[in-house]
Amino acid sequence: MTTPRVSTLTSLDDWLDLQARTAIPSAMWIDGAWDQASGRALPLISPRDGSVIANVTSADAADVDRAVQSARRTFERGSWSLLEPRQRGEVLLRWADLLDEHRDELALLLALEMGKPVTVAWNVELRTTINTIRWYGELVDKLYDESPRGRNGALALVTREPLGVVGAITPWNFPMTLAMFKIPAALAAGNSVVVKPATQTPLSLLRAAELSALAGLPAGVLQVVTGSGSVVGSALALHDDVATLTFTGSTEVGKKLLTYAGESNAKPVSLELGGKSPNIVFPDAPDLDKAAATAAWAISFNSGQMCTAGSRLVVHEEIRDDFVARVVKHLEAHVIGDPLDPATTMGPLAYAVHRDDVVDEIRKGIADGATLVMGSDEKRDDGLYVSPAVFTDVDPGSRLAQHEIFGPVLSVLTFSTEEEAIAIANNSDYGLGSAIWTADLSRAHRLSREIDAGLVWVNCYEEGDSSVPFGGHKLSGHGADRSVHGLEKYTSLKTTWINIEGAS
């Protein structure tokens, strides 16, 4: 199958027409079928225009238990866990193909549920999602177990075994990509999965789960349960039959999950959490305009709702004014508007309370004495849009420099020496992304060793690939997603000793 390079839908009318023809999922996906639970439903409000786009099931602990039991039964039956790895891979590859075939519809759901521009949903979020599934589908029969040569007379086999039921809890900012950093890896390893998407963004994942059945995934291997984190998420995290939890979201909730694990079956928990990533620019950056365009992108892509957002621009004092002027110019070029319009580059924030929080942070930044050189602390009257905001004269210890805002708000800090740049970069509870712009290879290498972060980009930002781990240090979490390492948390090591001397 050849992948079309761009969507054939090229105008707002095309997308509105697709919306009129698209069935919006609302039930949960349990045991290979739509499941209405006990009939409770909550309206899902689109940040696009405030309209109710679906009434989505709001589950309770009994519903979660039903989904977990279905996943457990399926795992124990072995209809997935005992398949040949190659057969599991073929199902994942078919699933990726089906998602690709339904890319317009999924991009539409993403735009409606969280306000992501359709162009970005189509070209970035779904491309990454589909690639990730394909990558694990292709990997699964190319892995080897180990047989260490420790002792004569006995053979040791070290194998990786699936765990059983994997509980996944995911956020709203990349509803498909971040769930699919987890689900295909867990499935490739032979597990069953129960996933709880964010309250705001269940639609694209529900549709993807339905398509997994068409791809041949046996009923009960993948369940999507919907509802609030405090009820559904905690029930999943506290469940004794969930063998491991994999989470992407805030540090605050991540810490709660560790507690829930301790209160239940001591399940391992892997955490991809928040960030306040430093983007460090030296005067000798190979291309300052590219660095500025990238800095603008790093704080405004996905309306700044990105765990790896380059929210702290750490720029050498000699070039600050010129560099900030360039960043502002690039930010001004955004086309802010309707996420269903293919011309839009920046959509609304994902929901009203979050928009209010982001605007409030801009207000606090002004009150703290930083200088607002772009943007406003006034709410716009055309919806949940927030124009990019840029602050200079930010004190490294202040809220603007420390608190994750999760919106298009850039804090500019300055340095004069390399040591100072490192100190500012590491002056954070977080350690997710980081970037260094310099033509000096020794300096780039030195800094990349000294910055305490899971990801360091040199003369680029947000490079990533299915083959490369993605994860943070400190309060940004632990346990990487993606790559071969992404499989580790979904398996346990088993050692088998075979006495070969005494064998008859």
| Counts of helices then strands in the chain (DSSP H, E) | 17, 21
Catalytic residue among 113, 272, 361, 404: 272
Q: Which amino acid is at 65?
A: D
Select 3 or 230, whichever has its Cβ closest to ligand NAP.
230
Q: Which amino acid is at 188?
A: A
Q: At what angle do helices 418-426 and 441-450 cross, to 10 degrees?
A: 30
Catalytic residue among 105, 113, 210, 307: 307
In three-state secondary structure terms, 100 is: helix
CB of 308 to ligand NAP, least distance (A): 7
In three-state secondary structure terms, 121 is: helix
**Of 448, 444, 423, whose CA–CA distance to 433 is shortest?**
448
Select 181 or 385, whichever has its Cβ closest to ligand NAP.
181
Structure tokens at 372: 């607002």
Select 249 or 396, whichever has its Cβ closest to ligand NAP.
249
CB of 95 to ligand NAP, least distance (A): 22
Select 232 or 296, whichever has its Cβ closest to ligand NAP.
232
Residues contributing to the site for ligand NAP (CB under 6 A): 169-173, 178, 196, 198-199, 228-230, 233-234, 237, 248-250, 253, 256, 272-275, 307, 404, 406, 432, 472, 476-477
What are the backbone angles phi and psi of residue 90, rounded to the nearest 5°?
Answer: -65, -40
CB of 245 to ligand NAP, least distance (A): 9
39/229 Cα distance (integer angstroms) = 18
Sign, CA torsion 300/203/354/170: negative
**In Å, what is the CA distance from 88 to each residue of 129, 133, 186, 215, 220?**
18, 11, 11, 11, 15
The verdict on whether 307 is a catalytic residue reads yes
The verdict on whether 272 is a catalytic residue reads yes
Tell me the residue ranges of DSSP E strands in 368-408.
Answer: 371-374, 389-392
Select 38 or 230, whichever has its Cβ closest to ligand NAP.
230
CB of 172 to ligand NAP, least distance (A): 5
| 3 state SS for 2-25 | CCCCCCCCCCHHHHHHHHHHCCCC
CB of 52 to ligand NAP, least distance (A): 17
CB of 241 to ligand NAP, least distance (A): 16
CB of 29 to ligand NAP, least distance (A): 16
Structure tokens at 40: 């409770």
Select 228 or 459, whichever has its Cβ closest to ligand NAP.
228
Which residues on adjacent β-strands are paired with residue 493? 160
Select 169 or 186, whichever has its Cβ closest to ligand NAP.
169
Q: How many CB atoms sit inside 10 A of residue 48's CB?
A: 21
70/72 Cα distance (integer angstroms) = 5
Active site residues: 272, 307
